[in-house]
Structures are given as C-alpha cells and as structure tokens.
Amino acid sequence: MAAKLFVGNLSFQATEEDLRELFQQAGTVETVRIITDQFTGRPRGFGFVEMATKEEASKAIEMLNGRLFRDRNLVVDEARPQPQRAGAGGPRGDRGPRPGGGGGGGGWRR
C-alpha cells in the first residue's frame, strides 16, 4: 500500500526528477509532485512524494528529514489529508452580501 510524504523547505531550483532520485535511495517512488503557484508557475517550496510501501516511507523519513539538499535542510513527514473546503464559491462559500454594504457590481457608484 502506497504512502504519501510531505517534503518541505525545498530549494526553488529542485526538480521533480531531483526528488525522485533522492527518494529512490529509500525505496520505490510511485509519484513526485512539486507544488507551484497557480498564477506565476513558480515552485512554492514544498511537494509530495508517494512511496510504494509504508515501510519505505518510514525509511525515507528517517534518511531524509533534516538532510541538506541543495543548500536547504529538508522537512520530510507523513502527508496529512487535505481539509475539506467550504462550498464551491471559494473562501466565502455562502456568497452572501459583502461586509461594508453593497451587493457587488464592481464598486462603482453614480
């Protein structure tokens, strides 16, 4: 059964292939994903690596947590499930009137 790991404090120059090679020292790597900013496309400094088994994931945490990689000490830990987000309308799922009055319309008044 695969186990997903959080990898933080990544160098902005690190690539997914770099991570794959690093984590293969601990076992079989299923997937690698470096998270990027949706607007700029730049790396956000963290990502996720999925190892083939929980044992290999534990070995990767032991081997790589705190290890210097591209001038930064990695943070490697078990990934936690992403919390559920409210509604489909973004951070304000209720889409009610905004604080400060007005019902929208771009803020222009006559």
Which CATH number does the domain housing residue 35 bear? 3.30.70.330
Q: Establish if 88 belongs to a structural domain.
A: no
Q: Establish if 13 belongs to a structural domain.
A: yes
Q: Establish if 107 belongs to a structural domain.
A: no
What does the pLDDT look like over 6-28, one tens digit per residue?
999 999 999 999 999 999 999 99
With beta carbons less than 8 A apart as the criterion, state whether 84 and 14 touch.
no
For the chain, the domain total comes to 1
Q: Establish if 49 belongs to a structural domain.
A: no
Which residue segment(s) compose the domain that 64 sits in?
Answer: 3-42+54-78
Q: Establish if 95 belongs to a structural domain.
A: no
What does the pLDDT look like over 90-104, one tens digit per residue?
555 555 555 665 555
